Amino acid sequence: MGKRGFSLYDVEQFMREAGAQQVTEDAVVDLEKELERLTEKLADHALRYAKHAGRKKLIKKSDIMLTRHGLV
């Protein structure tokens, strides 16, 4: 099993804060995987914006903002 990007406890808490009274372990694990996938996608797109701006490895808030607007 690889290292998790998000703690399962935190993912469960997000679900409860969203209004869920009960959540299954499978639901928590699936949401954690989806959050990790989306985060990787966001970081990849942000890195593309950074490289386009002439930065090879530095991702700035503006790159994230551009990515967010493109994905939403």
Residue ranges covered by each domain of the chain: 8-71
Helix 25-52 vs helix 8-17: crossing angle, to nearest 10: 100
pLDDT value at residue 68: 82
Residue 55: both structure tokens together? 């930065």
The matching CATH number, chosen from 3.20.20.140, 1.10.20.10, 3.40.50.2000, 1.10.260.40, for 8-71 is 1.10.20.10
pLDDT value at residue 4: 66
The DSSP call for residue 17 is: H
pLDDT value at residue 72: 53
pLDDT value at residue 71: 66
Q: How many degrees, rounded to 5, is the angle at CA 65 between CA 60 and CA 66?
A: 100
pTM: 0.78
Measured CA to CA, the distance from residue 29 to residue 18 in angstroms comes to 16
Measured CA to CA, the distance from residue 49 to residue 64 in angstroms comes to 9
Which parts of the chain have pLDDT scores under 70?
Answer: 1-4, 70-72
pLDDT value at residue 15: 97
